[in-house]
Amino acid sequence: MDLWLRFWFCANALRPAFSRRSTFVCFVIALAGMCVRTEHAGVTSIVRALNLAPSYYRNLLHLFNSSGWSVQRLTRVWVPWVFRVFGQYKVNGRFVLIADGIKAPKEGRKMPAVKSLHQESASNSKPEYIMGHSFQAVTLLFRHAQAVWAVPLACRIHEGLIFSNRDRRTLKDKLASLLTEIISALPRRSNFYLVADAYYACEKTIKHLLAQGNDLVSRVKSTAVAYAPSEDSRTGRRGRPKKYGEKIKLKDLFAQRSKFSRGVINGYGNQTTTVDYYAIDLLWKPVGRLIRFVLVAYPDRGKCVLMSTDLTLDPLTVISLYAMRFRIEVSFKQAVHTLGSFSYHFWLKSMERIKRGSGNQHPHRKSAQYRENILSKTEAYERFVAIGLVAQGLMQYLSTYFAAQVWTAFGGWLRTLPEHRHPSEQIVSWALRAALPEFLARSHKEHSLRKILTAHRLADRSTNFSKAA
């Protein structure tokens, strides 16, 4: 019962994002359904999970096309709440954000923004190309005791639609806009480290971050080269002093093992790992300034070259931060398999059928009404994903600060318990599902959440909230 009271405390904090109470009520129902459902069959699974009347299915569909809220307004309310609740963890007085992309498979022939996407995976079970939506997401890194979370902040579709031939923005440009939207939502300016993979280690991303006083921690390709600062002062000679000195292939520095030091980090899986590392500050031509490169030799993961635009950041901290980047992959896994945040099934009847293997769609060549329909449907996808990410953040909140209540409500058996004793999102979902009947039976009849959840429930049907492990 206490878990649902906490759930309402968090959900009610998002009320300012909705201009109408009826829209907020429908949002709370969708949010609760995301948390307790056991299947990922789109909106119908929410109806079944909460035992709602079939007629309420249309209300939930209308939620994703309502003018009473938008993803941007929800982000402006959600981001400050996340930083207020999970903002204790900092590195050098800065927050740590993690950015990455995720591809949601979609076979719909009448779904806007669906395009052919390349999958980079070592698994033989995955095809090289799929049809789907390409998202970019930003999360906040949070540590509590031994538990580490990547708390979702925002996620947007950044590929598949071209509304103007003059639009030359790349995925890096769109990620920069998303970061700006997140930072502008905070009540006061805060600097951060952005941790991302090698795809984002480029001029556009770095210059955008540096212009706002932020820094990037990333990995560079094995073929990357850098330059030693030139010692040419050109005293008494004409022309500008030479800036770049000796050209250095970064991977060749691994041969100089005498320069490497040994240290201990919290590595992948939050396990203590001993690594050999060597840090050197060199000029990097894409940005024309000094970059701190950290060469790392793992005992069982091979070698890699990391980079940091902050020259004061300790090399071991750089290695630890990049090791925490995989937490966003864990967050994606929970979003896909536990919450079904990408399990939307919305179609656009008026849209022209797309062919398998097709690329970007060009709605700017169509009528104004057609473009409006495309934009509305695309925003419906992002709204569905946004509700799933909020549900995931609320589960992480319950797991972090109310772990004992979650385990009590769960009451089931697990063969292997996590070492940090904080339940996963899956356990929190089971606990909320098990505690829902008690909350509806014992809570005060005038409690707002109880009134919302019972207003459209079927009285003559019972839902089996099992606690299978």
Tens of pLDDT, residue by residue over 202-255, are: 999 999 999 999 999 999 998 999 999 887 666 666 777 788 889 999 999 999
pLDDT in the model for residue 313: 95
Rounded (10°) CA dihedral 347, 350, 355, 360: -90
Q: How confident is the model at residue 123 (pLDDT cuts 50, 70, 90)?
A: low
Question: At residue 468, does pLDDT exceed 60?
Answer: no
User: pLDDT for 163-198, tens place per residue?
Assistant: 888 888 899 999 999 999 999 999 888 899 999 999
Of residues 419 and 305, the one with the higher pLDDT is: 305
On whether the CB atoms of residues 417 and 164 are closer than 8 A, the answer is: no
CB 74 within 8 A of CB 390: yes
The DSSP annotation for 36-96 comes to: H-S---THHHHHHHTTB-TTHHHHHHHHTT-TT--HHHHHHHHHHHHHHHHTT--BTTBEE
pLDDT range class, residue 462, cuts 50, 70, 90: very low
Take residue 405 and report the two structure tokens written for it.
Answer: 């209540």
| Calpha distance 326→332 (Å, rounded) | 10
Please say whether the beta carbons of 46 and 37 come within 8 A.
yes
Q: In sequence order, what are the beta bridge partners of 98?
A: 139, 195
Mean pLDDT on 98-108: 93
Query: Is there a contact between 286 and 203 (Cβ–Cβ < 8 Å)?
Result: yes
- Predicted local confidence at residue 241, as pLDDT: 78
Band of the pLDDT at 387, cuts 50, 70, 90?
very high
Q: Residue 198 and residue 141: Cα distance in Å, rounded? A: 19
Give ∠ CA 75-336-58 in degrees, rounded to 5: 65
- pLDDT tens digit sequence for 196-208: 999 999 999 999 9
pLDDT band per the 50, 70, 90 thresholds, residue 466: very low
Q: Please give the pLDDT value at position 463.
A: 47
Sort strands 192-195 and 95-105 into parallel, antiparallel or unpaired: parallel
| Average of per-residue pLDDT across 419-434 | 90
Cβ atoms of 114 and 106 within 8 Å: the answer is: yes
pLDDT value of residue 469: 40
H or E, element range at 283? strand 272-284
Question: pLDDT tens across 12-71, in order?
Answer: 999 999 999 999 999 999 999 999 999 999 899 999 999 999 999 999 999 999 999 999
pLDDT at 360 over 50: yes
Residue 337 pLDDT > 50, yes or no?
yes
270 versus 66: the higher-pLDDT residue is 66
Q: In the predicted model, is pLDDT for residue 124 greater than 80?
A: no
Is the pLDDT assigned to residue 388 strictly greater than 90?
yes
Distance CA 466, CA 83 (A): 34
Q: What whole-number distance in Å separates Cα of residue 138 and Cα of residue 185? A: 14
Task: Quote the percentage of the chain above a pLDDT of 70.
Answer: 95
CA nearest to 417, candidates 146, 114, 106: 146
Average pLDDT of the chain to the nearest whole number: 90
Buried/exposed code over 53-86 (b: 16+ C-beta within 10 A; e: otherwise): eeebeebbeebbebebbbbeebbbbbbbbbbebb
pLDDT > 90: percent of the chain? 71
Quote the pLDDT of residue 142.
Answer: 94
pLDDT(465) > 70? no
CA distance 45 to 421: 30
Distance from first CA to last CA of the chain, Å, rounded? Answer: 20
Q: State the DSSP code for 458.
A: -
**Which among 204, 160, 162, 149 has a CA at the least distance from the CA of 179?**
204
Number of Cβ within 10 Å of residue 42's Cβ equals 16
What is the pLDDT at residue 234? 64
